Structure 1
Amino acid sequence: MALASLAILLTLSGYAALCTIRPFKPCRACDATGVRRTHRTVKVCRRCRGSRYRLRTGRRLTNTTRAIHHTGTRTHPSERTTDSPWP
């Protein structure tokens, strides 16, 4: 049981390091070309929007968590602007 837990922990920490070092991965929908061919038409890939790379799921989760934390925390009293006439 401890060995399985250690393996899961190492895998998750490795994926977290990968998301930190390389946050983008090649788009699998268009094979990293940025365009999709359907019959006779060539269209920009909807998933990567033509950039050929997509944000990794772990990085997207990290960015969302940071944004939620940032909007939910209070600012420091010295950083607040005093718009009211009372201190």
Structure 2
Amino acid sequence: MALASLLILLTTAGYAVLCAMRPFAPCRKCSGIGVRTRRRTITLCQRCHGTRARLRIGRRLLNDGRTIHAHGTRPHAPDRKATPWQ
């Protein structure tokens, strides 16, 4: 049981490091090419809009968590000594 928990923890930590270092992954729909071929026509991929990359799920969750935290905390009070008229 402890080995399974340790394995899950290491896998989660490894994915978190991967999301921090490489936040973008190849698009799944166009296989990282950026274009799709349908009925002899070449069009831009609708999912990635031709950028050939997508944001990883873990990175998207991290960004959403940061946004929620930023909106939920109070802004810092301005420093009184930093105003130019005093």
Structure 2: gaps (5+ residues): 80-86
Q: Provide runs of 4+ in structure 1 moved above 6 Å.
A: none
Provide the TM-score with structure 2 as the length reference.
0.86
Identity between Structure 1 and Structure 2 (%): 59
Q: In the alignment, what sits opposite 2:12? A: 12
Displacement of 1:78: 2.6
**Whole-Å Cα distance in 1 between the matches of residues 42 and 57 of structure 2?**
27
Provide the TM-score with structure 1 as the length reference.
0.85
**Whole-Å Cα distance in 1 between the matches of residues 71 and 28 of structure 2?**
33
Structure 1: gaps (5+ residues): 80-87
Q: 1:54 aligns to what SS in structure 2?
A: strand
Q: In the alignment, what sits opposite 2:36? A: 36
> Does 2:64 correspond to 1:64?
yes
Displacement of 1:6: 0.5
Q: How many residues align?
A: 79
